[in-house]
Amino acid sequence: MINDERVIDNLEELEAFLLAVENGSFGLNNVAGVALATNNADGRPFVAVLDGNHQLLLGRWVTQDVFENGKELVRRGPTKH
């Protein structure tokens, strides 16, 4: 469940979010991956940070445009360091 109503609405914000996850800025433990997904209840898209058991550690809502156009960015990872 995502309790944070902030929405990532462009690819630059998505990349910054991915970098923050990669750099440990959120203080998450056991991060195993990141995926774009949709909420089963309402179909709303989000980016999910998952642990080794595929459990949601952190999620952030994304716009439909980011969901559709950010798949490659999530797949290959951020390029800025």
- Separation between Cα atoms, residue 43 and residue 12, nearest integer Å: 23
* Pick from 64, 61, 32, 63: nearest CA to 49: 32
pLDDT of residue 1: 66
Q: Read off the pTM.
A: 0.91
Partners of residue 56 on adjacent β-strands: 50
- pLDDT tens for each residue of 47-70: 999 999 999 999 999 999 999 999
Q: How confident is the model at residue 5 (pLDDT cuts 50, 70, 90)?
A: confident
- pLDDT tens for each residue of 6-34: 899 999 999 999 999 999 999 999 999 99
- Separation between Cα atoms, residue 63 and residue 65, nearest integer Å: 5
- Separation between Cα atoms, residue 21 and residue 65, nearest integer Å: 21
